[in-house]
């Protein structure tokens, strides 16, 4: 049996769950509302303060979807109650980030600045302190969306292994290489 799928999901205080007859799960909370269409084979039940996800058979497909939908619903409950936050750090001389409304402008050493228009579900904030690397802070109720946006930003200038320059997640360790050895 799926170890993840069989775990019950506890419903946080102030969160409403609704499962309609077409197997669409709607989660409402203080931070927003999320919906997810669940495969018709997977059964979602709301039982008091918990949500139970079950599957009809032991087929490999059903086992995979069992854990998948349980994780998605758990992330939805956490998202509407607490939200998700990803912090990225710009490492490099002259690298800058500015946020205005839902636009993120990045100066990453290219001949031009990169302007990204973010979806309205994702809030962006930049922190620039003297003597420290600039930070980009992304927050959203949707874990998948905020992770996808963070990966897209990181892909613009991945950290390189020699000097460590680029966009990295806060706290991420980058394997460094020695470079050229001094010749005698």
Q: Encode pLDDT of 111-156 as tens digits.
A: 999 999 999 999 999 999 999 999 999 999 999 999 999 999 999 9
Q: What is the pLDDT of residues 47-95, one digit of tens each?
A: 888 999 999 998 999 988 999 999 999 999 999 999 999 999 999 999 9
- Is the domain defined by 9-81 classed in CATH 3.90.930.12? yes
DSSP secondary structure letter of residue 79: H
Domains 9-81 and 84-169 share a fold: yes
Cα distance between residue 44 and residue 64, in whole Å: 15
Cα distance between residue 121 and residue 102, in whole Å: 9
Q: What is the pTM of this model?
A: 0.88
Architecture of the CATH domain 84-169: Alpha-Beta Complex (3.90)
pLDDT at 183: 56
Beginning with the edge strand found earlier in the chain, give each strand of the sheet holding 135-140 in spatial order. 123-127, 135-140, 84-91, 166-169
Residues β-bridged to residue 20: none
Residue ranges per structural domain of the chain: 9-81, 84-169
């Amino acid at each position: 049996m799926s170890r993840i799928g069989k775990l019950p999901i506890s419903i946080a205080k102030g969160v409403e769950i609704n499962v309609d007859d077409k197997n669409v799960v709607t989660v409402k909370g203080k931070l927003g509302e999320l919906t997810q269409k669940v495969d018709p084979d997977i059964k979602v039940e709301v039982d008091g303060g918990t949500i139970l996800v079950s599957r009809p058979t032991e087929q490999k497909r059903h086992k995979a979807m069992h854990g998948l939908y349980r994780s998605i619903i758990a992330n939805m409950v956490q998202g509407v109650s607490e939200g998700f936050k990803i912090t990225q750090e710009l490492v490099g001389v002259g690298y800058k980030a500015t946020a205005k409304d839902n636009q993120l402008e990045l100066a990453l050493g290219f001949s031009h600045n990169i302007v990204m228009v973010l979806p309205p579900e994702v809030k962006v904030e930049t922190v620039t302190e003297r003597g420290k690397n600039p930070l980009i802070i992304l927050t959203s109720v949707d874990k998948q969306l905020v992770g996808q946006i963070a990966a897209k930003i990181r892909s613009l200038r991945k950290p390189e292994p020699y000097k460590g320059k680029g966009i990295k997640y806060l706290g991420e360790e980058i394997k460094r290489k020695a470079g050229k050895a001094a010749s005698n």
